[in-house]
Amino acid sequence: MAFSLMSPFTFMTHCSSSSYASAPSNLGTSTTTARPAVILPGLGNNTGDYGKLKAILVKEYGVPAVVVAKVSRIDWLRNAAGLVDPNYWRGTLKPRPVLDWYFNRINEAVLQAKELAPGGTLSLIGHSAGGWLARVYLEEFGLSDVSLLLTLGTPHLPPPKGVSGVIDQTRGLLYYVEKHCRKAVYTPQLKYVCVAGRYLQGAPFFGKSDVEINSMVPTDSSQPSAEAVLVNDMSNSVPISKGFRARFVGQGYKQVCGRADVWGDGVVPEESAHLDGALNISLDGVYHSPVGSDDELRPWYGSPAIVEQWVQHLLS
């Protein structure tokens, strides 16, 4: 299948990675009660890619049970079934039945997590496409078992229509999600937390970029806020480059959000990884995938130093 990735209150807390430099490292020993968690792999990833993240959450932060949905790389070939659906060619493809195999894996993982830590709600952690697939799952299977949806580098928004050179890689799936899935919320009963990475700013393939290099930090990192402060401090991210790399990445960003000269995690633009109504967080220097990542030089969302910046949402 050709998808390559892949409110009353709007909390827009944008955090640079340095914002949490002084955050306590002993969150796992706090008195908060962690929920069991289910990790949902992104497109092209498999269960094993998240083994280290699972170990970090259990051993360092005391999450009582972490289950990674059972997905192999070859499983993603099942999406080719969408090619025989006329809606694929019209750009109006629906998640079901093409992606039922993935929803079944989510359901199996949820049931397993509930058996390992019965009696309460759980957290869904969706990486990349796993985040918007989680939204469809919640719409189809219900919300009663889930109190947190935390997405990591998820392309939540469909690409804009009518932009030259932009082709919807999901063939209509994200338009369906936007139209049919309930809006994000941040309430005591259910919280949406959307984490975006600012690893590399793209550039147009031709011409110049006029985008300013800005980072955002919260006015008060202890409390979700609708306000944010812009600061020119991108020491942990890769600045805009006129080289081939930025232009190549920019073309990928353009297919997702309609623009090349934006910040993103190397695959998903920052603006596409946020949702109105959710608690939105941006982290500098964070790469998209566990594949090709390096905890020191190119950390991804599941690297130890990066997990420390979002794990509090699993523990509260």
User: DSSP string spanning 26-42?
Assistant: -GGGSS--PPPEEEEPP
**pLDDT tens figures, 115-167:** 988 878 999 999 999 999 999 999 998 878 899 999 999 999 988 887 888 88
Interatomic CA distance for residues 261 and 273, integer angstroms: 16
CB 136 within 8 A of CB 156: no
Confidence grade of residue 18 (pLDDT, cut at 50, 70, 90): very low
Q: Are strands 37-40 and 122-127 parallel, antiparallel or unpaired?
A: parallel
Please tell me the predicted confidence (pLDDT) of residue 100. Answer: 93
User: Could you give the percent of the chain with pLDDT greater than 70?
Assistant: 78
Q: Which residue has the higher pLDDT, 31 or 103?
A: 103
Domain count, the chain: 1
What is the value of pTM for the model shown?
A: 0.81
**Is 173 within a domain?**
yes
**Is 25 within a domain?**
yes
- For residue 151, give Cα distances in angstroms to 80, 256, 296: 25, 17, 22
Domain of residue 69 covers 17-192+274-313
Residue 228 has pLDDT above 60, yes or no: no
- For residue 264, give Cα distances in angstroms to 91, 200, 217: 25, 6, 16
**Is 306 within a domain?**
yes
Please tell me the predicted confidence (pLDDT) of residue 137. Answer: 96
Confidence grade of residue 87 (pLDDT, cut at 50, 70, 90): confident
Please tell me the predicted confidence (pLDDT) of residue 32. Answer: 53
Q: Residue 68 in 3-state DSSP?
A: strand
Please tell me the predicted confidence (pLDDT) of residue 2. Answer: 40
DSSP letter at 69 equals -
**Is 241 within a domain?**
no
Lowest mean pLDDT among 80-84, 103-107, 138-142, 226-230: 226-230
Q: Which residue has the higher pLDDT, 163 or 181?
A: 181
Residue 34 has pLDDT above 90, yes or no: no
**Is 214 within a domain?**
no
4, exposed or middle or buried, with CB in 10 Å at 0-12, 13-18, 19+? Answer: middle
Task: Determine the average pLDDT of the residues in 165-182.
Answer: 88
Task: Determine the average pLDDT of the residues in 244-260.
Answer: 91
Residue 286 has pLDDT above 90, yes or no: yes
Confidence grade of residue 27 (pLDDT, cut at 50, 70, 90): very low
> Identity (one letter) of the amino acid at 225?
S
Q: Which residue has the higher pLDDT, 235 or 93?
A: 93
Lowest mean pLDDT among 32-36, 199-203, 284-288: 32-36
Structure tokens at 194: 């959307």
CB 14 within 8 A of CB 282: yes
**Is 24 within a domain?**
yes
CB 137 within 8 A of CB 162: no
Question: What CATH number should be reported for the domain holding residue 102?
Answer: 3.40.50
Residue 15 has pLDDT above 70, yes or no: no
**Is 5 within a domain?**
no
**pLDDT tens figures, 58-73:** 999 999 999 999 999 9
Please tell me the predicted confidence (pLDDT) of residue 283. Answer: 98
**pLDDT tens figures, 263-275:** 999 999 999 999 9
Lowest mean pLDDT among 79-83, 96-100, 180-184, 190-194: 79-83
Q: What are phi and psi of 146, to 5 degrees?
A: -120, 130
Helix (H) or strand (E) holding 137: helix 129-141
**Is 43 within a domain?**
yes
In terms of Cα–Cα distance, which of 20, 274, 45 is closest to 150?
Answer: 274
Please tell me the predicted confidence (pLDDT) of residue 93. Answer: 84
Q: What integer best gives the mean pLDDT of the chain? A: 81
